[in-house]
Amino acid sequence: MYRLSRRLFLAALAMLAVATTSPSWAADKLKVVTTFSVLGDMAQNVGGEHIALTTLVGPDGDAHVYEPTPTDARALAEADLVIVNGLAFEGWIDRLVKASGYKGTVVVASDGITALKVEDDHDHDHSEAHAESEKDHHHGELDPHAWQDLANGRLYVTNIARALAAADPAHAADYRRRAEAYDGELAALDRDVRARLDAVPADRRKVITSHDAFQYFGRAYGIDFHAPVGLSTESEPSAGEVAALVRQMRDEGIRALFVENITDPRLVQQLAREAGAVVGGTLYSDSLSGPTGPAPTYLDMFRHNVSEIAKAFTN
């Protein structure tokens, strides 16, 4: 049944793609498709005026549950380069590539990073809530949210710049120049983040978020993140997991709670009510904001998240 439905999906998407209006590609530019908004911003910073960019999952979109459209298939069919996160973040991308007929290079932006696993995420945390939540995860599953460490973001940029240069040698020097300038901004922000968060006492660096998207951030910057939902927003916690997390919040005095821009806030609001805490605001995890929001770029996303987290620690 699964094989049949999968074949039907591919066939339908391919046929619809043929009948769909083409994306508005600019002439004489490298046609680049990225899967979600963080990658799109990185590619635009490196590619500048030399690329025509299409991003499939836009601002405030959730790539975990995204369903590709015929327009997406047509975009891939006409692309010169496709850039993905990898680490099974875009569970739909292989089907979309096949349906589109795209035969070019698929660049995995996360290549070369040291991926965290579920079993590594809280290796220092033996809490009841963590033990309970592990039951529903595949032990050893890779965490795809690697961009939440700026050191990894810098590696993403290196991979993107290399791929753009290979696909468009005539502008390779420009891609390298732009990548070096962008890398300098990321490195400077990384130093600023460390300085700001290092000033927070270690016993206060505990945060609750909607889903398990911040383990790279936590490992890099010394923050202990907990979440009622696992790596994917499709996961659902049991009543026992929620109760265990509430007990942990009370026992450890965890006061910093955040919703995410891509998730339903009700679960975090429930945790806050039951633990007698207050939701501190919104963090941007898997997606940037729109242009008028607080996180329209990767750099802005980090600045916003760090500011919100630091503010919660001082309340």
pLDDT tens, residue by residue, 278-312: 788 899 999 999 999 999 999 999 999 999 999 98
Encoded amino acid at 128, one letter:
E
Handedness of CA 216, 222, 223, 228 (dihedral sign): positive
Q: Which two tokens stand for residue 113?
A: 């990073």
Percent of the chain with pLDDT over 90: 58
CATH 1.10.510.10 at 2-114+147-182, yes or no = no
Tens digits of per-residue pLDDT, 197-233? 999 988 888 888 877 899 999 999 999 998 775 555 5
pLDDT confidence tier of residue 257, bands split at 50, 70 and 90: confident
Q: How far is CA 131 from CA 128, 139, 141, 267, 304, in A?
A: 5, 12, 16, 19, 31
Instruction: Determine the Cα–Cα distance for residues 76 and 289; give it in Å rounded to an integer.
Output: 24
Mean pLDDT of the chain: 84
Task: Look at the chain and count its residues.
Answer: 315
User: Could you give the residue range(s) of every CATH 3.40.50.1980 domain in the chain?
Assistant: 2-114+147-182, 127-134+199-314
**Residue indicated by tokens 């490298």:** 30
Q: What pLDDT does 234 receive?
A: 58
H runs (alpha helix) in the chain: 2-19, 37-47, 70-78, 93-100, 118-121, 128-134, 150-167, 172-198, 215-221, 239-252, 266-275, 298-314
Q: Which two tokens stand for residue 234?
A: 């499709």
What is the rounded radius of gyration, in angstroms, for the C-alpha atoms of the chain?
Answer: 20
Tens digits of per-residue pLDDT, 64-118? 889 999 999 999 999 999 999 999 999 999 999 999 999 999 999 999 999 998 7
Q: Which two tokens stand for residue 244?
A: 């265990």
Q: Is the pLDDT of residue 152 over 90?
A: yes
Instruction: Determine the Cα–Cα distance for residues 97 and 239; give it in Å rounded to an integer.
Output: 39
Fold of 127-134+199-314: Rossmann fold (3.40.50)
Q: What pLDDT does 19 receive?
A: 42
